[in-house]
Amino acid sequence: MESLDRTSGSGASACPHEPSCPAADELDREAARTVAYHPEQGWSLLCNGIVIFDDTGELLPDGAVIAPHRPTDRTAAA
Ligand SMILES: [Zn+2]
């Protein structure tokens, strides 16, 4: 195995995972691992710095907001 080179790549987010999580500007950004989950507040923090909300809206690390893009009409009982 080659020695780890932690100085290469984007140093914006310190992703400890292997393979690295997708960056916030990649299409599969939602595939990043959840590092903080707050179901009572309806949001989760992903490893790449994205905050993703229960309604699938997202808040990117640079402050950009992505509107909810998936149907959330889960029929709750009663
Ligand atoms: Zn990660």
pTM for the structure as a whole: 0.71
Ligand 1 centroid–CA 40 distance in Å is 23
Q: pLDDT of the chain along its 78 residues, tens only? A: 555 555 444 445 579 999 999 999 999 999 999 999 999 999 999 999 999 999 999 999 999 999 998 776 666 555
Q: Are strands 43-46 and 51-53 parallel, antiparallel or unpaired?
A: antiparallel
Question: In angstroms, what CA-CA distances link 1 with 4, 10, 14, 22, 67?
Answer: 9, 22, 21, 23, 42
Q: 38 C-alpha to center of ligand 1: Å?
A: 18
pLDDT, position 70: 74
CB neighbourhood size of 12 (10 A) = 13
Tell the residue number behind the tokens 């949001």, with chain if given. 43
Q: Residue 30 in 3-state DSSP?
A: helix
Which phi and psi angles does 59 have, rounded to 5°?
Answer: -120, 115
- Residue 3 C-alpha to ligand 1 middle, in angstroms? 19
pLDDT reported for residue 2:
54
CA of 74 to the centre of ligand 1 (A): 29
DSSP 8-state class, residue 31: G
